[in-house]
Amino acid sequence: MRENTFQAAYSEALQRARQALLIRDIAACCAAGGALLKKRPGSSETIDLCFLNKPVHITLPQAAFSAGGDNRDVSIWEQILILHYLANSERAVLKHALINYRRLRDGAVYAPAFERRCIEPLLSAFGSEPEALIPAATALGGVPADYGDCAVRIPALPRLDIICCLWKGDAEFGPEAAILFDAGAEDFLCAEDMAVLCQQIVLQLIKNRAF
């Protein structure tokens, strides 16, 4: 029963996300969000963009998703995030200053859950060996970043990078972890969406970890 309730909620959220994009100026959203809008014969169009290093194709007007490359499915949570990102892109502005999750609108409300689901697993998997973070991020398109003792910058979406940072522990303090992003990230995705995105990134990093 609970699984059916969650599935229904996700399906409803996906439908709302589709409608939110379709009432926008899609060409402007794609241009602002770094996505490629292609005209097809007849009345159909496609949107191409990269999500966590995976090519994604959206066929309009149905807003139907498919993944390129290895033919992986695009999960429902991925679809919702991508549609939200595109729908908000036209009005989004990067601030070129980094913040943590608590600095987002409503971030303080969700921060305890964010730290439990994102920061603590990241620290548990990589705190004792921060350098392992770099190869683990490669499959996500991540590259080393100059923060903390070890960090990676992961291009989650064309204009939205997620930075995972680690600090080694010493005799006085234990290891620490942080997840940072541009202060304009909340123009693309709300705090709840950012929590989902960061959690999925951390889960994938842990999966890629070479223990």
Q: What is the model's pLDDT at position 7? A: 78
Q: Is 34 exposed, middle or buried (0-12, 13-18, 19+ CB in 10 A)?
A: middle
Rounded percentage of the chain residues whose pLDDT exceeds 70: 93
pLDDT at 70 over 60: no
Mean predicted confidence (pLDDT) in 4-22: 88
pLDDT at 68 over 80: no
Q: Per-residue pLDDT averaged across 24-51, rounded?
A: 91
Kindly state the tokens that stand for 191: 């705090």
Q: Tell me how far CA of residue 17 lies from CA of 34, 61, 96, 187, in angstroms.
A: 19, 13, 27, 15
pLDDT, averaged across the chain = 92
How many whole angstroms separate alpha carbon 46 and alpha carbon 39? 7
pLDDT tens digits, residue range 161-179?
A: 999 999 997 778 889 999 9
211 pLDDT higher than 70: no
Pick the more confident residue, 206 or 210: 206
Reading the block at residue 77, the tokens are 């949570």
The terminus-to-terminus CA distance of the chain in angstroms comes to: 37
The mean-pLDDT minimum among 2-16, 108-122, 190-204 falls in 2-16
Residue 57, class by beta-carbon neighbours within 10 Å (0-12 exposed, 13-18 middle, 19+ buried)? middle
What pLDDT score does 170 carry?
78
Contacts of 53-60 with C-beta under 8 Å, sequence gap 24+, read 53/139, 53/140, 53/141, 53/155, 56/82, 58/82, 60/22, 60/26
CA–CA separation, 198 and 138 (whole Å): 16
What is the value of pTM for the model shown? 0.92
Select from 77, 57, 67 the least CA-distant residue to 11: 77
Question: What's the token pair of residue 155?
Answer: 């291009």
pLDDT band at 72 (very low <50, low <70, confident <90, very high): low
